[in-house]
């Protein structure tokens, strides 16, 4: 008995093959420059950090779209941000090399989800730094991504 693998369940990743497209393979083929996910971590060969972070941004946008923010009251949206979206972003914050502009984009995404109204934009009366304060200080208890990244 030797090692047995199933091509249909496996993926072939192009690291430096001369004729990658010509290789006979039944499973998934992943070419250089494309982002793929292994155990939840975005990987790729010759993929820049910017492309990987954009891939994560796309995933977070998809998740926020699935929650349909306008259908939830504010206290439920706060819980969704705290329990799901913020933690999802924090996971990738630890794995990737983030710049301030990337963190700002993700914070904008969270703000838009949090303050969304059914028919028009909500009037935000509190600065984001205050919203990120603990509840004991009058904030909503949402962790600040900038302070978590440092």
pLDDT tens for 6-21 read 767 777 777 777 777 7
Q: What is the mean pLDDT of residues 116-137?
A: 74
pTM to 2 decimal places = 0.67
Cβ neighbors of 84 (< 8 A, separation 6 or more) are 63
pLDDT-based confidence at residue 96 (cuts at 50, 70, 90) = confident
Q: How far apart are CA 117 and CA 98, in angstroms?
A: 30
**Per-residue model confidence (pLDDT) at position 148:** 67
147: left (phi over 0), alpha (psi -120 to 50) or beta: alpha
**Per-residue model confidence (pLDDT) at position 3:** 66
Question: Cα-flanking dihedrals φ and ψ of residue 30, to 5°?
Answer: -115, 115
pLDDT-based confidence at residue 132 (cuts at 50, 70, 90) = confident
């Amino acid at each position: 008995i030797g090692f047995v693998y199933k091509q249909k369940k496996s993926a072939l990743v192009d690291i430096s093959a001369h004729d990658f497209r010509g290789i006979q393979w039944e499973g998934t083929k992943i070419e250089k420059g494309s982002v793929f996910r292994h155990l939840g971590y975005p990987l790729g060969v010759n993929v820049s950090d910017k492309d990987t972070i954009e891939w994560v941004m796309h995933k977070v946008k998809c998740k926020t779209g699935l929650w349909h923010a306008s259908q939830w009251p504010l206290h439920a949206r706060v819980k969704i941000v705290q329990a799901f979206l913020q933690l999802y972003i924090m996971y990738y914050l630890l794995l990737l090399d983030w710049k301030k502009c990337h963190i700002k984009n993700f914070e904008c995404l969270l703000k838009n989800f949090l303050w969304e109204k059914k028919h028009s934009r909500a009037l935000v009366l509190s600065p984001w730094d205050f919203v990120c304060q603990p509840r004991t200080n009058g904030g909503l208890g949402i962790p600040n991504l900038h302070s978590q990244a440092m």
